[in-house]
Structure 1
């Protein structure tokens, strides 16, 4: 870790961006049957973000089967003066193809994504799944397709998913994910790794290094998603004065019985840092932003108020002592999850 300011960062070659961006998933309650957006809440959030300097907008063709891409494209059409840096993903939607990575399906999905986003190129295009068919049958095809798209400048950077499984999966399951990631990483040679990262994400060992040291050593950028763990890390602050809605524990990948334990741990942070609105959001966002200069954080939202709080609460960088305290509390949260689920089916903790 070096500088922790909020100036522009080099995510990778060709992408210089504000370190806090948006994870653009249009909530289902804002979608109409024809795929249009109910009202302007989501578009207002996008507007609020660019007013705060945001440049990086992350989505996927699988978010509402293209709905989120189309809403972001609608915003881009309304603001042609903006130089948006657009990120999307491929690998979840098969359509009529044999596999999401088969044949020219990646090319076809990119064409649709560019049309949805009203764009001529993508800054980042991410392989959104580790599933490359039986025996990795379509892995070579996917790699060739992505490199061709980068060569012809249809995309600027190739991304791949980071290692991830259920938050409360066994250490063996996480180790298996890490090994699978390393195998694919060496073949794909991505420019960027896109991964969920928050207090509940266990550390994984990659060539005897953590993800951030590994990425820096290989010159790879990181996009960190779900920094607030779907609102769980702002605790019951969301029920009082924060514009963030309190997440249902199951939606965040946690059993309901863990909610009280989580709030007990977060109370430690409130006692030290204060209980003003935005404090817990600041700690969660800052602890992600300060992991390294090559990291860009994308936070989800459903209202402009949430975007306003996320960008306004950041304040000064956390000191090393403060980061240590946050890491200790977050470590306690992970321990609570492991303890509570040691005798429970992992299927109840879907991320």
Structure 2
């Protein structure tokens, strides 16, 4: 298994980590569908075991994923293997009290629940899941102090934060979007995280400045959504329309509608023509390595719903695609980005 070190003093982890969002199944939070489709807990556990057996040591989850369901499923594996053979990350901010997500009392309550669900006495990386710290950031200082207290108590090993993003509740209230980059840089200087989590894939704008900032500060990076939640695997096509049930966040995402999938599939056809291969694993290989190319301080999180998906993702690490193939894919997807933005006129941070 290819490994990476998350920052100057971070843990050594498998370059491919497991994202456990889908293991929470359908869910709602803050009045929004925030989960995935139906999930078989037994098959999900088998997928986690498969990942562990293949050398995956990094597992990412959050308290809001199925409101504890994903953490509990992962906890079954944690209880059966040596704890020091895994790096666990979880998050606080979206589950529980939406009015006061970052008060010390709420943060401690959520952390204790996560520890119980995961069956462990500590979490290696504990993330601020969003950047809304109350009016005029009234809870920011106490939230930072609370994280430091958790670390002093040995309940967590390191603090993380998300890269530039939009707070989910703003989508409901219609609150005007702030400059998410300016806000991220300001919060980064205040929080001083050991690791940042950045959405990065072939369908998102370049995150090069964020990766450069992380490298400058000796900060590790976890890249999430490297496969654009499956859109880059070729599994979504206009020929096989997908419909999503209640509690599935994809039902509210325009990139999962038929017009968007048509645009993305056309871009993937360009890649297929150049590689001369319809094997979806080649598309997965290109997508994953386009993220792994950012440097040795970066690991990639890929989700799954079946053990077969885990096997396919891990197999793609055996060798990288040719650099010119990755560049062809990037060019095709940049063109798709322009077409998607023009078609939907939405904020780019709503991209997959």
> What TM-score results when the alignment is normalised by the length of structure 2?
0.83
Separation of aligned partners in 2, 1:280 and 1:237: 13
Structure 1, unaligned runs of 5 or more: 1-5, 31-36
**2:272 is matched with which residue?**
270
| Shift in alpha-carbon separation, 1:130–1:282, aligned structure 2, 3 A | same
C-alpha deviation, 1:239, in angstroms = 10
Deviations 1:107-146 (A, max 9, x none): 2221211111011111100001111011111000111011
Task: State the secondary structure of the residue aligned to 1:43.
Answer: helix
C-alpha deviation, 1:75, in angstroms = 1.8
Separation of aligned partners in 2, 1:124 and 1:247: 35
| Shift in alpha-carbon separation, 1:246–1:75, aligned structure 2, 3 A | farther
Separation of aligned partners in 2, 1:347 and 1:228: 17
Task: Verify the 8 A CA contact 1:89 1:127 in the aligned structure 2.
Answer: yes
**1:9 is matched with which residue?**
4
Structure 1 stretch displaced more, 46-55 or 309-318:
309-318
Deviations 1:147-200 (A, max 9, x none): 12223322111000110249xx9xxx8881000101100100100111221122
Structure 2, unaligned runs of 5 or more: 28-38, 245-249
Deviations 1:23-82 (A, max 9, x none): 01215269xxxxxx8451001100111121100000000111111111111122233477
Separation of aligned partners in 2, 1:262 and 1:337: 9
C-alpha deviation, 1:8, in angstroms = 2.0
| Shift in alpha-carbon separation, 1:106–1:157, aligned structure 2, 3 A | same
**2:329 is matched with which residue?**
326
Task: State the secondary structure of the residue aligned to 2:88.
Answer: strand
Match of residue 23, structure 1, among 19, 23, 39:
19
| Shift in alpha-carbon separation, 1:65–1:236, aligned structure 2, 3 A | closer
C-alpha deviation, 1:348, in angstroms = 12
**2:299 is matched with which residue?**
296
**2:218 is matched with which residue?**
219
**1:180 is matched with which residue?**
183
C-alpha deviation, 1:309, in angstroms = 0.6
Q: What do you get for the CA RMSD once the two structures are aligned?
A: 2.9
**1:232 is matched with which residue?**
231
**1:99 is matched with which residue?**
100
Separation of aligned partners in 2, 1:88 and 1:74: 16
| Shift in alpha-carbon separation, 1:346–1:320, aligned structure 2, 3 A | closer
Task: Verify the 8 A CA contact 2:50 2:310 in the aligned structure 1.
Answer: yes
- 1:76-91 equivalent positions in 2, closer than 5 A: 76-80=78-82, 83-91=85-93
| Shift in alpha-carbon separation, 1:132–1:189, aligned structure 2, 3 A | same
Task: Verify the 8 A CA contact 1:199 1:334 in the aligned structure 2.
Answer: no
Task: Verify the 8 A CA contact 1:86 1:124 in the aligned structure 2.
Answer: yes
Separation of aligned partners in 2, 1:202 and 1:277: 23
Task: State the secondary structure of the residue aligned to 1:65.
Answer: helix
Separation of aligned partners in 2, 1:69 and 1:85: 14
2:158 aligned with 1:157: yes
Match of residue 51, structure 2, among 31, 49, 66:
49
